[in-house]
Protein backbone atom coordinates (compact mmCIF):
# COMPACT_ATOMS: atom_id res chain seq x y z
CA UNK A 1 0.00 0.00 0.00
CA UNK A 2 1.20 3.47 -0.82
CA UNK A 3 0.26 5.91 1.94
CA UNK A 4 -0.51 8.65 -0.60
CA UNK A 5 -2.75 6.49 -2.82
CA UNK A 6 -6.32 7.72 -2.31
CA UNK A 7 -7.87 4.58 -3.86
CA UNK A 8 -5.98 2.29 -1.49
CA UNK A 9 -6.86 4.49 1.49
CA UNK A 10 -10.54 4.45 0.46
CA UNK A 11 -10.49 0.67 0.06
CA UNK A 12 -8.88 0.18 3.46
CA UNK A 13 -11.44 2.49 5.13
CA UNK A 14 -14.27 0.59 3.43
CA UNK A 15 -12.98 -2.77 4.68
CA UNK A 16 -12.50 -1.44 8.21
CA UNK A 17 -16.10 -0.13 8.24
CA UNK A 18 -17.21 -3.65 7.37
CA UNK A 19 -15.24 -5.05 10.32
CA UNK A 20 -12.81 -6.97 8.14
CA UNK A 21 -9.27 -7.67 9.36
CA UNK A 22 -7.00 -5.85 6.94
CA UNK A 23 -3.23 -5.58 6.91
CA UNK A 24 -1.80 -2.96 4.54
CA UNK A 25 1.55 -3.86 3.01
CA UNK A 26 3.87 -0.87 2.77
CA UNK A 27 5.51 -0.72 -0.64
CA UNK A 28 8.57 1.30 0.33
CA UNK A 29 10.80 -1.56 -0.86
CA UNK A 30 10.41 -4.61 -3.05
CA UNK A 31 9.77 -7.97 -1.44
CA UNK A 32 11.39 -11.28 -2.20
CA UNK A 33 9.94 -14.73 -2.72
CA UNK A 34 12.78 -17.22 -2.64
CA UNK A 35 15.61 -15.41 -4.45
CA UNK A 36 13.41 -13.46 -6.87
CA UNK A 37 12.26 -9.88 -6.40
CA UNK A 38 8.49 -9.53 -6.61
CA UNK A 39 5.98 -6.68 -6.34
CA UNK A 40 4.22 -6.64 -2.97
CA UNK A 41 0.44 -6.92 -2.73
CA UNK A 42 -1.43 -3.95 -1.26
CA UNK A 43 -3.37 -5.84 1.44
CA UNK A 44 -3.79 -9.13 3.25
CA UNK A 45 -7.49 -9.45 4.14
CA UNK A 46 -9.23 -11.92 6.45
CA UNK A 47 -12.99 -11.60 6.86
CA UNK A 48 -15.10 -12.72 9.80
CA UNK A 49 -16.23 -15.60 7.56
CA UNK A 50 -12.59 -16.74 7.35
CA UNK A 51 -12.23 -15.71 3.73
CA UNK A 52 -8.51 -15.04 3.11
CA UNK A 53 -7.38 -12.70 0.36
CA UNK A 54 -4.20 -11.26 -1.08
CA UNK A 55 -5.31 -8.01 -2.72
CA UNK A 56 -3.85 -5.61 -5.24
CA UNK A 57 -5.88 -2.39 -5.65
CA UNK A 58 -6.32 -0.72 -9.02
CA UNK A 59 -7.78 2.77 -8.76
CA UNK A 60 -9.77 4.00 -11.74
CA UNK A 61 -12.16 6.84 -12.53
CA UNK A 62 -15.64 6.40 -13.92
CA UNK A 63 -16.43 7.48 -16.46
CA UNK A 64 -13.08 6.60 -17.93
CA UNK A 65 -11.45 8.33 -20.83
CA UNK A 66 -10.98 7.10 -24.36
CA UNK A 67 -8.68 8.21 -27.13
CA UNK A 68 -7.78 11.87 -26.93
CA UNK A 69 -8.92 12.07 -23.30
CA UNK A 70 -12.62 12.24 -24.24
CA UNK A 71 -14.91 11.03 -21.42
CA UNK A 72 -16.51 7.63 -22.09
CA UNK A 73 -18.57 5.32 -19.92
CA UNK A 74 -15.80 2.74 -19.72
CA UNK A 75 -15.04 0.58 -16.68
CA UNK A 76 -11.27 0.42 -17.23
CA UNK A 77 -9.78 -2.85 -16.01
CA UNK A 78 -6.18 -2.75 -17.20
CA UNK A 79 -3.15 -3.42 -15.04
CA UNK A 80 0.48 -4.38 -15.44
CA UNK A 81 1.34 -7.95 -16.32
CA UNK A 82 3.71 -7.83 -13.32
CA UNK A 83 0.69 -7.22 -11.04
CA UNK A 84 -0.88 -10.48 -12.23
CA UNK A 85 2.31 -12.51 -11.92
CA UNK A 86 3.18 -11.14 -8.47
CA UNK A 87 -0.33 -11.51 -7.04
CA UNK A 88 -0.47 -15.09 -8.33
CA UNK A 89 2.85 -15.91 -6.69
CA UNK A 90 1.82 -14.36 -3.35
CA UNK A 91 -1.51 -16.22 -3.26
CA UNK A 92 0.29 -19.48 -4.07
CA UNK A 93 2.90 -18.85 -1.35
CA UNK A 94 0.29 -18.14 1.33
CA UNK A 95 -1.43 -21.43 0.52
CA UNK A 96 -4.58 -22.78 -1.03
CA UNK A 97 -6.86 -21.09 1.52
CA UNK A 98 -5.78 -17.68 0.13
CA UNK A 99 -7.24 -16.21 -3.04
CA UNK A 100 -5.56 -13.49 -5.08
CA UNK A 101 -7.98 -10.68 -5.95
CA UNK A 102 -7.54 -7.62 -8.14
CA UNK A 103 -9.70 -4.95 -6.51
CA UNK A 104 -10.90 -2.28 -8.93
CA UNK A 105 -11.88 0.79 -6.92
CA UNK A 106 -13.74 3.26 -9.12
CA UNK A 107 -13.97 6.92 -8.15
CA UNK A 108 -17.36 8.00 -9.50
CA UNK A 109 -17.79 11.41 -11.11
CA UNK A 110 -20.35 13.63 -9.32
CA UNK A 111 -22.90 13.30 -12.14
CA UNK A 112 -22.92 9.47 -11.99
CA UNK A 113 -25.92 8.10 -10.13
CA UNK A 114 -26.20 4.46 -9.18
CA UNK A 115 -29.09 2.92 -7.23
CA UNK A 116 -28.66 3.36 -3.47
CA UNK A 117 -28.71 -0.41 -2.96
CA UNK A 118 -25.75 -1.00 -5.32
CA UNK A 119 -23.43 -3.42 -3.56
CA UNK A 120 -20.12 -1.99 -2.38
CA UNK A 121 -20.95 1.61 -3.24
CA UNK A 122 -19.38 3.75 -0.51
CA UNK A 123 -18.36 7.26 0.43
CA UNK A 124 -14.86 8.27 1.43
CA UNK A 125 -13.83 11.86 2.18
CA UNK A 126 -16.95 13.21 0.52
CA UNK A 127 -16.45 11.27 -2.72
CA UNK A 128 -18.32 8.24 -4.00
CA UNK A 129 -16.53 4.96 -4.85
CA UNK A 130 -17.50 1.54 -6.16
CA UNK A 131 -15.45 -1.55 -5.21
CA UNK A 132 -15.30 -4.49 -7.59
CA UNK A 133 -12.99 -7.50 -7.83
CA UNK A 134 -11.76 -10.27 -10.11
CA UNK A 135 -9.96 -13.41 -9.00
CA UNK A 136 -6.41 -13.15 -10.31
CA UNK A 137 -6.61 -16.70 -11.69
CA UNK A 138 -9.67 -15.75 -13.77
CA UNK A 139 -8.08 -12.52 -14.91
CA UNK A 140 -4.92 -14.34 -15.94
CA UNK A 141 -6.90 -16.93 -17.95
CA UNK A 142 -8.71 -14.21 -19.97
CA UNK A 143 -6.24 -11.31 -20.12
CA UNK A 144 -5.02 -9.77 -23.35
CA UNK A 145 -2.03 -7.58 -24.05
CA UNK A 146 -2.87 -3.88 -23.99
CA UNK A 147 0.62 -2.46 -24.50
CA UNK A 148 3.72 -4.62 -24.95
CA UNK A 149 5.90 -1.54 -24.42
CA UNK A 150 4.36 -0.73 -21.03
CA UNK A 151 3.70 -4.35 -20.05
CA UNK A 152 -0.03 -3.78 -19.55
CA UNK A 153 -2.90 -6.23 -19.92
CA UNK A 154 -6.70 -5.97 -19.82
CA UNK A 155 -9.93 -7.93 -20.14
CA UNK A 156 -12.38 -7.56 -23.00
CA UNK A 157 -15.59 -5.87 -21.83
CA UNK A 158 -17.63 -9.09 -22.13
CA UNK A 159 -15.04 -11.05 -20.13
CA UNK A 160 -14.87 -8.34 -17.49
CA UNK A 161 -18.67 -8.28 -17.13
CA UNK A 162 -18.66 -12.05 -16.69
CA UNK A 163 -15.81 -12.19 -14.15
CA UNK A 164 -16.17 -9.04 -12.06
CA UNK A 165 -18.03 -9.23 -8.73
CA UNK A 166 -18.81 -6.82 -5.91
CA UNK A 167 -15.84 -6.95 -3.54
CA UNK A 168 -18.16 -8.24 -0.78
CA UNK A 169 -18.49 -11.44 -2.82
CA UNK A 170 -14.86 -12.23 -1.97
CA UNK A 171 -15.39 -11.54 1.73
CA UNK A 172 -17.50 -14.67 2.12
CA UNK A 173 -16.14 -18.17 2.53
CA UNK A 174 -16.15 -19.97 -0.81
CA UNK A 175 -18.52 -22.95 -0.85
CA UNK A 176 -18.25 -25.48 -3.67
CA UNK A 177 -21.11 -25.08 -6.14
CA UNK A 178 -22.75 -22.18 -4.29
CA UNK A 179 -22.31 -18.53 -5.12
CA UNK A 180 -22.65 -16.31 -2.06
CA UNK A 181 -23.22 -12.59 -2.54
CA UNK A 182 -23.65 -10.38 0.48
CA UNK A 183 -25.86 -7.31 0.08
CA UNK A 184 -24.45 -4.05 1.36
CA UNK A 185 -26.60 -0.93 1.48
CA UNK A 186 -25.18 1.97 -0.54
CA UNK A 187 -23.82 5.00 1.23
CA UNK A 188 -23.95 8.50 -0.23
CA UNK A 189 -21.50 11.29 0.56
CA UNK A 190 -22.67 13.78 3.14
The pLDDT value recorded for residue 31 is 72
Q: Of 38-52, 58-72, 173-187, which has the strongest mean pLDDT?
A: 38-52
The pLDDT value recorded for residue 181 is 37
Separation between Cα atoms, residue 9 and residue 45, nearest integer Å: 14
- What's the total number of domains in the chain? 1
User: Does residue 141 carry a pLDDT above 50?
Assistant: yes
Residue 52 lies in a domain: yes
**Is there a contact between 42 and 55 (Cβ–Cβ < 8 Å)?**
yes
For residue range 156-185, what is the model confidence (pLDDT) as tens digits?
Answer: 999 999 999 999 999 985 544 433 333 333
Residue 178 lies in a domain: no
**Is there a contact between 15 and 45 (Cβ–Cβ < 8 Å)?**
yes
Residue 190 lies in a domain: no
User: Does residue 19 carry a pLDDT above 70?
Assistant: yes
Q: Is 172 exposed, middle or buried (0-12, 13-18, 19+ CB in 10 A)?
A: middle
Pairing of strands 64-65, 71-72: antiparallel
Residue 62 structural domain = 6-171
- The pTM of this model reads 0.85
Residue 137 lies in a domain: yes
* C-alpha 170 chain-centroid distance: 10
**CATH classification at residue 82:** 3.40.1350.10
User: Does residue 25 carry a pLDDT above 50?
Assistant: yes
The pLDDT value recorded for residue 65 is 76
Separation between Cα atoms, residue 7 and residue 39, nearest integer Å: 18
**Who wins on pLDDT, 161 or 113?**
161
User: Does residue 58 carry a pLDDT above 50?
Assistant: yes
Residue 181 lies in a domain: no
Q: Is 24 exposed, middle or buried (0-12, 13-18, 19+ CB in 10 A)?
A: buried
As a whole number of Å, the CA-based R_g of the chain is: 16
Residue 81 lies in a domain: yes
For residue range 79-107, what is the model confidence (pLDDT) as tens digits?
Answer: 999 999 999 999 999 998 999 999 999 99
User: Does residue 186 carry a pLDDT above 50?
Assistant: no
For residue range 32-43, what is the model confidence (pLDDT) as tens digits?
Answer: 777 678 889 999
Residue 95 lies in a domain: yes
The pLDDT value recorded for residue 35 is 67
Residue 96 lies in a domain: yes
The pLDDT value recorded for residue 29 is 62
Amino acid sequence: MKSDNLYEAAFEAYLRRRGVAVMPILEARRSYLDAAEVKSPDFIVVSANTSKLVVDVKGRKFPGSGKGGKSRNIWHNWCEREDIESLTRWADRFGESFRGVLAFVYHLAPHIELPGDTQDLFAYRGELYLARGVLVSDYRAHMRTRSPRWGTVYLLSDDFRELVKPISHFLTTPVAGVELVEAVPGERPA
